[in-house]
Chain A
Amino acid sequence: MSIQTVSALLSLVAILLLAAVFLRVRSLAHEGREYAPVQGNAYRIRNIGFWILVLVGLPITIWLFRETPYTAQAAAPQVINATGYQWYWDLDRDEVAAGTPVEFHVTSADVNHGFGIYDADGTLVAQTQAMPGYVNRLTHVFDAPGTYQILCLEYCGLVHHNMIAEILVTEGSTDG
């Protein structure tokens, strides 16, 4: 299951649960009760909710930070130097092998661009920003051969939506 699908399902479930709570409060609001016991219950729920957020959620988000693209390094990667221009990508090579890490050295010659890698199904699999004066190193392993597209993911002016390049990912090894 893709990260996108997991994120969407998580959001959906959490929002539906929240909506259920709101619907219950709405449906029972016409009943007039003393506030003190209602408030006491709310404080108990608040305390439980707070500690769940701290003891369960916080370790999870810290744990999730262990995997970031910032420090990923491969021993002998295939390297692609990518430069963004208004409005095209300049890649010094456009063919790599699947299964071997590819290190993209991404920069821009003019304004900010976004270097988004899309697989053959049109799913975004990795990205980094392309910024003038900086080179961002993005390491990615293409699991499957095919034609991948590079789409611009940072608004860069009039032809932003047409700033597309292609990378051919082949089976087997290619010189790095």
Chain B
Amino acid sequence: MADAAFTQGAETADRGRLWVVLYLATTGLVLLLMMLAGLWMRLAQSGWLDTDPALFYQLMTVHGTGMVGIAALGGAAVLWHFLSAHIRLHAWVMGANFWLFLIGVVAILAADFPGRFGGAWTFLYPLPASSQGVWPVWAAALHLGGLLVIGVGFLIWCLELARGIIATYGGLGRGLGWHVLFGGSTKDVPPPTVVAATMVAIVTILALIAGATVLVMSLINLAFPSVELNPLLAKNLIYFFGHTFINATIYMGVIAVYELLPRITGRPWKTTKVFLAGWTLSTTMVLIIFPHHLLMDFAMPVWAMAIGQVFSYVNSFPVLVVTGLGALAILHRSGIRWDIVSTLLLISVFGWMAGVIPAVIDATVAVNSVMHNTLWVPGHFHFYLLLGLLPMIFAFMIHLVRVEDVTPRGGDLAAILYLLFGLSFVTMFLVGGWASVPRRWAVHLPEWQIWDQIAVIAAAGVITLTTVFVAMFLARTPAMLAKG
């Protein structure tokens, strides 16, 4: 079985390093802005900052859309950097995706602020076309068009991943290691990074096609209102796209764990059959479990709901017993000294595993009946994005500006404080869900506001620590680039 490259101090050959740095810098800056938008929303809900509901919903739309976008941008930087060591990729694709991303962002910002569009990231049909005069049709079209442009950029990017994997390994099945898993071959065993990248390419391409389809359908409806869509079909396409795409960002980010923990500990992360089975299972499950977002749409077929519940549970297996336990085994009694990078990676695995727990519970129909669209939902996804994906990206940022030298240095207090503030923040969402507080409400009842006020304080801490991580990256980037 193949070992991950774990030479201490070795730099990864990366033909798109400048783009990776630009992706990360953009991720850091946009992330901070989106976090400030999130803080503003929690301040409004807490009663501490009087905010026009129209502005709240505009901020909510920008926050949700922007966070999904930068999760993908940051995850893409991680994936590209490490995959470049295994597969020859064309760096211009990173550039094309970046410029399309920026064009899309400008369009969305113009639509959401001057245009006052506030249709949420979900843009559920027919809300974009039916705002009761709150926003004009052009703003809705510009927002959806911006999303489409960003989606096209990521589709090109994913197609390049798929091309590179096929060219190097002979097919996407071989990228997932099926010749090893099912054929018993010991040749051309794909390293964990390639396996994860193959999964990301497959699921994201399918997600983006679904997303583009519903976006084009919605744009046609905006232009020609007499052309109506089936709202349930539109909802299925939107959640298939959204669920799969945001999950794929975590599968991009986890490559930092697969690559960095072996380098830090000197212990290899092997591509075993269990590992391959886990990733094949994840590939399948991520694509089919999206109906757990539609459990309260009783018009859906019951079999789809059964898949949404039962397979959401099954989907937790690879996270818990393959990646989670694998990371713990590599770290256990490894003789390392904790520093900010290794602690962030440890936090990221914890955040991902722990976030799965309230997610699986909510995917149970009996629970979903009284938890769906309460604050429990942002509670669980903030858990594995704030404490799972983001620490992966922060760890990678700091690793990169240390010129990929994994020798431990400095303390890890900032990482621990980030964990504590992050835990407090997501716990307030979960407590809100327990208390039946609806999500996406601009105004909260007084009895809910104590949880919002604690969340505001925790969010301020999270933003402060995020600023520290991003500043560490940006401040050292010129020196890192100067070294080539």
Contact = CB atoms under 8 A, between A and B. Distances in A.
B313 interface: yes
Given A29-B334, A158-B134, A50 B127 contact: no
Contacts of B310: 58, 61-62, 65
Contacts of A137: 298
5 contacts: A3-B367, A49-B321, A133-B231, A136-B299, A161-B443
A158 B132 contact: yes
Contact of A22 (B120, B328, B373): B328
Contact of A45 (B305, B325, B337): B325
B441 A33 contact: no
Chain A binding surface, main DSSP class: mixed
Given A50-B317, A158-B57, A39 B329 contact: yes
- 10 closest A-B pairs by beta carbon, nearest first, are A32-B335, A42-B329, A33-B333, A161-B441, A124-B436, A136-B298, A153-B373, A8-B434, A155-B440, A134-B299
Given A58-B314, A122-B436, A129 B297 contact: yes
A50 B53 CA distance: 47
A133 B229 CA distance: 10
Given A129-B298, A154-B373, A111 B354 contact: no
A65 B435 CA distance: 24
B400 interface: no
Contacts of A156: 127
What is the interface residue range for chain A against chain B? 35 or more
Interface string A72-85: 00000000000000
A64 B357 contact: no
Contacts of B331: 25-26, 29
A58 B434 CA distance: 24
A18 B355 CA distance: 11
Contact of B124 (A8, A41, A67, A154): A154
A89 to B, nearest CB: 14
A14 B356 CA distance: 10
Interface string A124-156: 111111011110111000000000000111111
A11 B431 CA distance: 11
A95 B54 CA distance: 34
Interface in B206-254: 230-232, 235
Given A5-B434, A42-B328, A153-B373, A128 B309 contact: no
Residue of A32, A70, A136 ringed by the most chain B CB atoms within 10 A: A70
Contact of A126 (B120, B131, B369): B369
A132 B122 CA distance: 16
A120 interface: no
B433 interface: yes
A120 B228 CA distance: 40
Contacts of B325: 42, 45-46, 49
Interface in A61-112: 61-62, 64-65, 67-71, 86, 110-112
Residue of A8, A110, A126 ringed by the most chain B CB atoms within 10 A: A8
Contact of B337 (A21, A30, A131, A138): A30
A136 B54 CA distance: 30
Interface of A: 2-5, 7-8, 10-11, 14-15, 18-19, 21-22, 25-26, 28-33, 35, 38-39, 41-42, 45-46, 49-50, 53, 57-58, 61-62, 64-65, 67-71, 86, 110-112, 114, 116, 118, 122-129, 131-134, 136-138, 151-162
A94 to B, nearest CB: 21
A28 B333 contact: yes
Given A61-B364, A129-B298, A15 B354 contact: yes
Contacts of A41: 329
A64 to B, nearest CB: 6
Contacts of A86: 130, 132
A138 B371 CA distance: 16
A41 B332 CA distance: 11
A130 to B, nearest CB: 10
A24 B467 CA distance: 29
Given A4-B370, A64-B365, A155-B120, A114 B296 contact: yes
Given A29-B334, A153-B438, A160-B440, A11 B361 contact: yes
A159 B313 CA distance: 36
A173 B59 CA distance: 47
A17 to B, nearest CB: 10
